Structure 1
């Protein structure tokens, strides 16, 4: 169940995951991941306020149930940039999937393809874009670009992703330097597995580098002129990833962006930044359907997906949950995570009379102030108390049953 790369343990599982919700996978992942790798995923910057707020802020908005809709069997199929998808849930780009599984991004792509979700891979991926594409040749995929100061490196990337059939670029503009990630410092985390693009261009740089060191090789000064150049030299649609206010959405559109990606990097950059769901409405209003909008950060429930779609997103990305699924179940684990959230989304669609994803985009969302309550359910393992055992409340193992109905006489 475990293989090793220079002593670093990597899961080699490939199995569906039995779960009640995706949150419970976070604690389970500790059993198969080293501490440093685990906290690279399961942490944010500084005091992690934004990291927590990304999820709790979904409680600022409420889904209004609808009655007498005469609807059943909702469908989560959708179309995005000409690509037909089985779900609006997307695999957000995260570096170094090899910390979770030996097959890294190849397994993540396989799981995303099986679930019918859009996959995106990072510049800092362990596996090559060619190997990722070969894992699911017909599956839709985007590429997340950390623009390099070295344009020869950028051109190498553009050539490779075009040949591998990537359909577009997410240009990251919110991580010009690494946020102050205390968990990484405490565990002295460095990337333990080689990053493909750095291996092919620089002969192995990436393995053994810290997050801050890797970011230092990226461009810190990105302007609208860079967007125009990337579009021209890559020949691909470019989404601006890291937009958190209407002003930057206008600037991105003015630079020729083909889409807007609303994210705060999962709370891993500026601690104290607002939760993404709280800024989505003003950005959606500014964009006004001129280009597609992708949203991520803090998504842990199908209801979160529903709210983001209803408030202006076209696709909703997940990050940490699928890496936990990757560690616990490989490709099938990733598929399990997407399917879990998709099933929860369908329940909300049924209860609001939404037959299609387009219907969800027109669903009624309220914003009514309530006192803070972002606790998990009372039966969550983190809160549940031992259930009392008495002589009167225990089921007998061999209870006598009625031969006709199968019901217990007890």
Structure 2
């Protein structure tokens, strides 16, 4: 049975994220929605991440003579209108036919930065071409195959990305209970994988896709990506002070 992905184009009223999630759930394939929404096992980490974020407080300053707040900032010398960026996530095509192209356009219109995932539903060069001049990063799941890593990095550099995000905390697929319950497998190909070889991710679950990923990361891998790209490399997934040191 072919997978149906939305091609609707119209404004939507967003009151809050919880309400938006409910609207999406009502119009999306159950398995695909579960993949996007869920965490691993009993979702303790996902809940704890949210709770921890809620512990962060903004200290209001008064008597500062400011009538209009300026949220602009910069990263690696790239000016942004907001300190909130679009983090990399896989397979936007599950939610809409235009996938990461529309996500990139939305981020550009908001004056912020889009980060493309290795496991996106769109070619990384197509996402870059959709909004010329807008800053983008590329997130790589390093493979055991260095030829694949070099291939992707070359494509990213050619597309004009400004930095490489190196994910090091996701070397294996988590025990995603909702995926197991719905028997979810990616119904759409991943063009960045398909551009290198026959394995395009279609018909596989996330654990099967991760099977080709590198697990034995060492600090020299950061330098390897730096040398390949000539760009800043952000190590995504450091969770302890010792690893940061």
Give the alignment's TM-score, normalised by structure 2. Answer: 0.96
Count of residues in correspondence between the two structures: 245
Matches within 5 A, 1:119-268: 119-250=114-245
**CA distance in structure 2 between the partners assigned to 1:139 and 1:193 by the alignment:** 27
Change beyond 3 A, Cα 1:78–1:63: closer
Task: Name the SS of the counterpart of 2:46 in structure 1.
Answer: helix
SS of 2:103's equivalent in the other structure is helix
**Cα deviation per residue 1:13-69 (whole Å; 9 max; x = unaligned)?**
233321221221111111221000000011101111111121122343443433333
| Structure 1: gaps spanning 5 or more residues | 1-5, 251-410
Report the CA distance between 1:204 and its aligned residue: 4.5
1:77 equivalent in alignment to 2:72: yes
Q: Is the 8 A contact 2:191 2:200 kept in 1?
A: no
Q: Which residue of 2 aligns with 1:13?
A: 8
Q: 1: CA distance between counterparts of 2:166 and 2:192?
A: 16
- Which whole-Å deviations, capped at 9, do the CAs of 1:206-233 have from their partners, x for residues lacking one? 1111100011111011111111111111
Q: Secondary structure of the residue that 2:196 maps to in structure 1?
A: helix
Q: In the aligned structure 1, how far is the partner of 2:111 from the partner of 2:77?
A: 14
Q: Which runs of 5+ in 2 are unaligned?
A: none
Larger Rg: 1
Q: Does 1:49 align with 2:44?
A: yes
For 2:81 and 2:27, locate their aligned partners in 1 and report how far apart those are by CA, in whole Å: 30
SS in 2 for 1:127: coil
Q: Secondary structure at the match of 2:237?
A: strand
Whose relative contact order is higher, 1 or 2, with alpha carbons under 8 Å and at least 6 apart?
1
